[in-house]
Every structure is written in structure tokens, then in C-alpha cells.
Amino acid sequence: MSDHLERTFVALKPDAVKRGIVGDVITRLERSGMRLAATRMLRADDEILEQHYSEHVDKDFYEGLRDFMKEGPVIAMVWEGVNAVANVRKLVGDTAPREADPGTIRGDFAHVSFEHADSEGKAVKNLIHASGNKEEAEKEVSIWFDDAEIHEYDRADEEHVQ
């Protein structure tokens, strides 16, 4: 991978898998020009979730978040591209689905507010996780993937970014 490209981690949460929008989300990321470098479907266990959400483990909402992430399979992915972390975050939209702009993944496919989820005692089903910065991306990629699972290849449309 060249120096100007970044890697970022994306997870499609169980609600995205259950709703059958995995293809729509992947298509949006691919159409942005980024390259899918790794993917796998798995049921997240306590160990991987504690590593991934290490900064939240002691917070009141963690148990609900953990239980939500274990409701079904997760699609874990590594994406590569120029400014991949920031570009994926733009495509994903605001963490609070109700605040996400139309045209973003959350803005188009989710609408639940934090207030509603809190009043129901549920985790916010916001479809997708995307790394917030380069350091977080590096940490998360290493939690979910071994180096051998990350693939390098040339996309047919990459000439304009190299």
C-alpha cells in the first residue's frame, strides 16, 4: 500500500445484516473508489467486543451495546483509499441516526434517536461502525484481522488515485 493511502475498519452491525442491506452499503463504499481489502462474517464474542469497545467497557451502556452486537452476525471489513478514515465517516453519517444527513448510510437506512433507544432500554441500532481516526483504525483492524487476511490488489479504476 502506498504512503498516501489509508486503511480503515468498518463493521456492519447485526441490524444491517438482518435488514438485508449489506450489499447496498458495500456498493456505496466501492462506488466511492475505495478498495475492499478484507472481509469476514462472524458472531462477535465477548473477548473481541471488549477489545473493540475497550474505552466503553465500564460505562453504563456497554452491556446493552455488547448484547446488541451479539444479536446476530457482523460483517467486519477493512477498506483502503485516499483519506479512507474521513471519507468512510462522511459516507456513514452521524452516529445518531436521526441526525444523519440524507444521502449517508445512516441517513438513508436508519432513523432511531438516542432518546427513543434510551426510553426503551435498548442500544441504538445504527447499522454500521466506522473507525473515528487513523489510530483507532489501526487498533480495530488488528483486533478483527490478521495481516494474512488483508489483501492487496489493483482495482480497474485506480489509475486516477496513483
Count how many residues are written for the chain.
162
Residues 69 and 49 sit within 8 Å (Cβ to Cβ): yes
Place of cell 486516477: 160
Q: Is 124 helix (H, G, I), strand (E, B) or coil?
A: coil
Indicate which residue of 4, 56, 129, 160 is catalytic. Answer: 129
User: Across the chain, how many H-helices and E-strands are there?
Assistant: 8, 4
160 is an active site residue: no
Strand partners, 81: 6
The amino acid present at 53, given as its one-letter code, is Y
Q: Indicate which residues carry an active-site annotation.
A: 129
